[in-house]
Chains A and B, each alone.
Chain A
């Protein structure tokens, strides 16, 4: 082995030649006291709230408290290397994280520094950590589903793109499992996933990363980790960093993103710690007064952005994002209702905008020279799946009630169900999705109604049944149905179901084709049925995909298939 000295020295010479030294001007202060991730800094008269400052040892900090003669700074990094009297420099910038395609597939800390040993991340893009959520005009209602691949959730607690759905439950009830299944289910889709781990064990995060790599999910996922050994300030900023990385894809490329915050109760703990150390007054459960704002401003950044259309000259390229190319309606906002644009720039972006744009285009005398253009950076979404860990099922504690009130619904997981073998351990009685219904596939919506009813009836009767009294036939039938459906909704981890498969298996359940099967054979039947449909009746799946709805005609077809299959299934059983 021989080192190429010449080449190395030429690189060094080149670097030195380019080095232009100038007088280094900076606004500096001095550390008065430091401890527990917090520093009080004398000076920095012009420092602004939330500004980034740099310490002598290379750590950065964020200005939190502005006092008369000093500022309180939280240290994002190694605070043990900072001494009294150390110099602190203002940066004049807010905290920001690197973003972009280079981040995908990487495991990073909340400042975007790689943790996976795969080398530096070269990306020119950065976004501020704290970003104001878009206003009313930039949004549209949730209208596209985000499939989790879990039967129990996609059918009864559907999640839409841009929604905030809380996953809440005690420890060890499968909260993270639901989030990971959702990530795995996005494979082959257009969704970018961000998994933010706050205050977790490094070993747990390593396990998650391994599993995501194994399933191929890292190809479209970024993992942001601030483990339990990181200082509290890093744990506090981690969810904002994750949101900023997701926002890049949403605002720049109009893509759909999912951000999983695992979990926000630990982030609240970290924020409580640093607030108390900064001597901010404690409130309920010793959390500071602005702990609600901590979560509300984070979750408010979840959004479904509006789709923007405009009539543009035919030669406009498909990837054009310049809103000025729009061919404006001459009458502007006074145009007839069916052609009327939604703003003074001639864009169509409210519900029905596509139809109105098309209508106007059709009415143009020289319509061949124009086309309806969809701006490719519009219509992105950020779906948030925050996770909250409760203690002994106590959802009335401070942080859980806060986050429940902020989100658009919650998936409630129960240890009792978990240990009874119902996994995912979703309590469908008290889990809700307040907006996801609008986004649900029509076929699914149709069959999910009866599913809910069946389960509700079952829960009511279940208590009676335990008394061991004699039951009439109808009641017994309800109970049988309920038990089969509970069985049907069980699903192993990392095996997300395609939505069409879900429709067919739930269809079989709610129509009663499982009622006379032994409970322990339900999943076996389901697996065989789905395989049968995929192999012999692929046209039905295709039709489901195309029509997006369960027409009577299609329902009849599926009924026939299931009936035929059942005969062969039970037949083979009898001959055994």
Chain B
């Protein structure tokens, strides 16, 4: 989830906008989106790489060579060139923010909307299309589902679109019922009604 600050977002947007414009002109906007996504998961998996990119201790000239070796040919030229520009401007520490703003702006441009779906069991294809329909009905945009399996939900589904959260999970319902019962319990206690029989 986002842990980038307002300031970073503002700066990152400048780069991601430029990348999006270029990619769209070349017809690579969608594939660049996927590549960025993969890059972020790569960074998540390899802390060292993350550190290597973000550290101000490493000379940009050195990093430039490594970047070429690492990515050229394996990723699109657009992505590698963008990384090089970020490196040159010493802004590589913003790569996650850039990916995030790219993701948002790309969805905006396409008229898509990101929906995070959590379920207790993996979604079936039928359910997936149903959910996509629900999302597009609610938002008037095409839903791009991001699925996750969360067994702690027990059942049901939790859908989050932007700031809006639709919670139809079994856990939440049970929790509500629990709150209701304890509220009723305290009311009964204060009502002074005796639930204990004397004697024995």
Contacts and interface: CB of A to CB of B under 8 A. Distances in A.
| Contact size range, B | 20 to 34
B22 to A, nearest CB: 25
A26 B181 contact: no
8 contacts: A2-B200, A3-B195, A4-B194, A4-B196, A28-B165, A29-B163, A42-B2, A120-B187
Closest 6 CB pairs of A and B: A24-B167, A23-B168, A2-B197, A28-B165, A119-B190, A43-B163
A69 interface: yes
Contact of A69 (B1, B9, B180): B9
Given A3-B195, A11-B184, A23-B166, 18 more contacts: A1-B197, A1-B198, A2-B197, A16-B177, A16-B181, A19-B177, A24-B166, A24-B176, A25-B165, A25-B166, A27-B165, A32-B2, A42-B1, A45-B163, A46-B163, A70-B6, A120-B187, A122-B190
Contact of A12 (B164, B176, B181): B181
Interface residues of A, number: 35
Interface of B (DSSP majority class): mixed
Interface in A32-49: 32, 42-46
Nearest to B138: A25
Nearest to B160: A28
A208 B193 CA distance: 33
B91 to A, nearest CB: 18
Contacts of A16: 177, 181
Interface of B: 1-3, 5-6, 9-10, 160, 162-168, 172-173, 176-177, 180-181, 184, 186-188, 190, 194-200
Given A45-B162, A119-B190, A23 B3 contact: no
B3 A32 contact: yes
Given A15-B181, A68-B10, A69-B9, A24 B168 contact: yes
Contact of A67 (B6, B176, B186): B6
Interface of A: 1-4, 7-8, 11-12, 15-16, 19, 21, 23-30, 32, 42-46, 67-70, 85, 87, 119-120, 122
B10 to A, nearest CB: 7
A4 B1 CA distance: 50
A310 B186 CA distance: 47
A1 to B, nearest CB: 6
Contact of B195 (A4, A43, A87): A4
Contacts of A1: 196-200
B180 A15 contact: yes
A547 to B, nearest CB: 51
A460 B193 CA distance: 70
A28 B172 CA distance: 15
Contacts of B160: 28
A7 B195 contact: yes
A2 B164 CA distance: 49
Contacts of B6: 67-70
